[in-house]
Structure 1
Amino acid sequence: MKVAIVLNTSWNVYNFRMNLIKALQEQNHTVYVVAPVDDYTHKIKEAGCIFHPVKMDSRGANPIKDFALFLELRGIYKEIQPDIILHYTIKPNIYGTMAAASLKFPAINNVCGLGTVFLQKGIVSSIALLMYKIAFRFPKKVFFQNHHDYDLFIEKKLIKKGISDVIPGSGIDLTHFPPMAFQRNTPFTFLLISRLIHDKGVIEFINAVKQLKKSGLNARFQILGAKDPEHKRGIKTEIIDEWITSNTIEYLGTTNDVRFFIKNADCIVLPSYREGTPRTLLEAASSAKPIIATDVPGCNNVVENNYNGFLCELKNADDLALKMHNMSVLTDKEIETFGVNGRKKVEKEFSEQIVIDRYLKSIAEFNR
């Protein structure tokens, strides 16, 4: 079969979908990747995929650009003539699905997360709901990464129950993120791994850090992730620079391998407003690190309060500061137990192999 995989970045394909691609290739499927060109495109080609570049702006909605994306994807699909198309992320899910439907190609969609638009009500949110309702009449299967998003789509009648299912996010490669031997840093080290945008709770993290420093807590506070000031909800570069120069946080920049930074942290923090199933938390839990995250859809799938970490209130820097303080004063045994519990949880619920098997089973249904 010809299987097309459509995503908003080549980076995303390489970091999150390569094991699925390998599994498809092992079953003698020809894999086509449709994504924008970036530094990871050559790695996808080297892996034996047939690559088709596409222009795709993931920042916000622009009717002209989005219609152009629909036409471009339609042209690519017409050229490829795929047997099945796998869509990930918002724009491929909407415009890719419409393009596939116009040519009568079957599609399997993956709702990786609902994005900023669903965090606030308004005309943009209403339009997004309408676009989903139109597009999601056509896919043969839609995977959701948590039950909250699944329930929302069913409740708002954006999709039929019969074609919907829930999978454990993107899954995690348990061998790539093995449990790390327990160690406790002096001072205690907190690490936030995220793009620097408001919806990841970065401002709440900064305000919590300021509180903790004022109270005299002896700890290190780190941020690892890309600056994204052009994003609609991005944080301005000058604000981030002020955090750095004032020694509020240690900014670690970006990396191609987060394992070194996870290893050297005592606790991973993600005060996000909403997620699909956050990859950074899966990586942390798989590495046997305790976590602090917001009690919101996606995050509370991975973190069980007082089991493998703490859950804090949404947009509440005071509560986040309290949970960070409470984590820092736990005994070595308590912290190590949180880490062990997190690893058990991902082994049981979030193994990447679970996700791959569900995709292979669904794809096989189109090959009968």
Structure 2
Amino acid sequence: MKILILANNDVGLYKFRKELIDALLEENEVIICLPYGEFVDELEAMGCKFISCDLLERHGTNPIKELELISYYKKIIRKTMPDIVFTYTIKPNIYGGIVCSRLNIPYVVNITGLGTAVENAGAMQMITVYLYKLGLRKAQKVFFQNTENRDFMLRKGVVNGAYDMLPGSGVNLQNYAVSEYPKGETIDFVFVSRIMKEKGIDQYLEAAKVIRERYPETRFHICGFCEQAYENRLKQMTDEGIIIYHGLVKDMAAVYAKMSCTIHPTYYPEGLSNVLLESAACGRPIITTDRSGCREVVDDGINGYVIKEKDSQDLIDKIELFLKKKPEERKQMGLAGRRKVEKTFDRKIVIEKYLNEVKNLGCK
């Protein structure tokens, strides 16, 4: 069969869906349509056919450009004539869905997170929900990554057909294997994310400053692309010895191997955190926000701790709880997280559910 994938970037497609694409390529032709990025060459080397989609602006709201994107999707789908279309993220989900429904092309939607436009009440939420209704109305299957997103969409009447739950993007348990728990003189924490306000970077930096003063043996690492608003602050805190900034890191498994705990204080509306899945798979305890997309990975007090949103003091308190534990207890917390992802979040679960959608198509 011919499978078309619509997505908004190559990084997520390669890092979190590479194994799925490999499985699809075994018996199918796979075409990817997204803006060009550094991983497109890797995807083509796997066997994918690439169609550039520079019209897709992830945060753009210009109505004319949005209509141009819909028109472009229509052109691409008519030209490629796929047997089924897989869509990821809000614009491909909505606009790709609208086109597929009009052309009677089967399509499967993955709600990777609702985003701020939907989470925050107001005019933008109303518009986005209406567009989602148009985009999802004929979907063969709608996949959700957390129950809060699912319940919201059902409550708003967005989804009327078949839907199912996914364990996020799942985690590759071979690539993110358990590494020996650190036994060094320092206790190292890491923040892994795009460095932006909604990811909780302010809470992490505030906690780092307080904890470093109280516990000099601690180290606070940061990995990820830094938005301009935080460049000066990170440089100053690096110069002061409060944090260690590594920039973008490709081999995160190697980073987790050196860390004692991952801190993810996000309040950004995401589907299910890949950072938490990967950290837990590597046998590392996690401290994260008590919100949908994060709490699913944490059994509070067992493999980590949950904290209140935007609450630096609660984060500080939980870090101190962690520091009071003996090294063997911290190690056992990490191993509990590994057992949890093995049972619930194996990426093979995601692959099987997508392959079933392809098989179901062949039976119709």
- TM-score range normalised by the length of the shorter chain: over 0.9
CA offsets per residue over residues 123-173 of structure 1, 9 Å max, x none? 22222222212212121110000111111111121112x411111011111
Shift of residue 96, structure 1, vs aligned partner: 1.2
TM-score scaled to structure 1, two decimals? 0.94
Shift of residue 118, structure 1, vs aligned partner: 3.4
Separation in structure 2 between the aligned mates of residue 67 and residue 285 of structure 1, nearest angstrom: 42
Q: Secondary structure at the match of 2:164?
A: strand
Q: Secondary structure at the match of 2:108?
A: strand
Q: Secondary structure at the match of 1:190?
A: strand
Give the alignment partner of residue 235 of structure 2, picking from 231, 235, 241: 241
CA contact (8 A) 2:219 2:243 kept: yes
In structure 2, the partner of 1:287 is: 282
In structure 2, the partner of 1:65 is: 65
Letter in 2 for 1:324: I
Q: Secondary structure at the match of 1:366?
A: helix
Give the alignment partner of residue 270 of structure 1, picking from 264, 274, 277: 264
2:157 counterpart of 1:157:
yes
Moved more, 237-246 or 112-121: 237-246
Cα gap change, 1:228/1:57 in structure 2, threshold over 3 Å: closer, same or farther? farther
CA offsets per residue over residues 6-37 of structure 1, 9 Å max, x none? 111112221111111111122x1111111111
In structure 2, the partner of 1:187 is: 186
In structure 2, the partner of 1:31 is: 30
Give the alignment partner of residue 296 of structure 2, picking from 292, 301, 315: 301
Letter in 2 for 1:261: V
Letter in 2 for 1:218: E
CA offsets per residue over residues 267-320 of structure 1, 9 Å max, x none? 001011133110011000000000000010010011110111001111101001
Shift of residue 211, structure 1, vs aligned partner: 2.3
Separation in structure 2 between the aligned mates of residue 280 and residue 245 of structure 1, nearest angstrom: 27
CA contact (8 A) 2:196 2:230 kept: no
CA contact (8 A) 1:294 1:300 kept: yes
% same residue: 32
Shift of residue 245, structure 1, vs aligned partner: 3.1
In structure 2, the partner of 1:147 is: 147
CA RMSD in angstroms comes to 1.5
Cα gap change, 1:7/1:264 in structure 2, threshold over 3 Å: closer, same or farther? same
Q: Secondary structure at the match of 1:93?
A: helix
Shift of residue 236, structure 1, vs aligned partner: 4.1
- Map 1:196-215 → 2, pairs under 5 A: 196-215=195-214
- Map 1:13-24 → 2, pairs under 5 A: 13-24=13-24
Q: Secondary structure at the match of 2:189?
A: strand
CA contact (8 A) 1:116 1:199 kept: no
In structure 2, the partner of 1:365 is: 360
Letter in 2 for 1:243: M
Q: Secondary structure at the match of 1:177?
A: coil
Separation in structure 2 between the aligned mates of residue 356 and residue 288 of structure 1, nearest angstrom: 23
In structure 2, the partner of 1:255 is: 249
Q: How many residues matched?
A: 361
Separation in structure 1 between the aligned mates of residue 121 and residue 60 of structure 2, nearest angstrom: 15
In structure 2, the partner of 1:232 is: none
CA offsets per residue over residues 145-204 of structure 1, 9 Å max, x none? 0111111111121112x4111110111111111111122332211100000111111111
Separation in structure 1 between the aligned mates of residue 237 and residue 126 of structure 2, nearest angstrom: 36
Letter in 1 for 2:234: I
In structure 1, the partner of 2:121 is: 121
In structure 1, the partner of 2:227 is: 228
Give the alignment partner of residue 327 of structure 1, picking from 301, 310, 322: 322
Q: Secondary structure at the match of 1:296?
A: coil
In structure 2, the partner of 1:94 is: 94
Separation in structure 2 between the aligned mates of residue 173 and residue 214 of structure 1, nearest angstrom: 37
Shift of residue 60, structure 1, vs aligned partner: 4.3
Q: Which consecutive unaligned segments of at least 5 residues does structure 1 have?
A: 230-234
Shift of residue 258, structure 1, vs aligned partner: 0.7
CA contact (8 A) 1:184 1:266 kept: no
Q: Which consecutive unaligned segments of at least 5 residues does structure 2 have?
A: none
CA contact (8 A) 2:2 2:82 kept: yes
Shift of residue 326, structure 1, vs aligned partner: 1.2
Cα gap change, 1:217/1:325 in structure 2, threshold over 3 Å: closer, same or farther? farther
Shift of residue 246, structure 1, vs aligned partner: 3.3
In structure 1, the partner of 2:311 is: 316
CA contact (8 A) 1:185 1:265 kept: no
Q: Secondary structure at the match of 1:277?
A: coil
TM-score scaled to structure 2, two decimals? 0.95
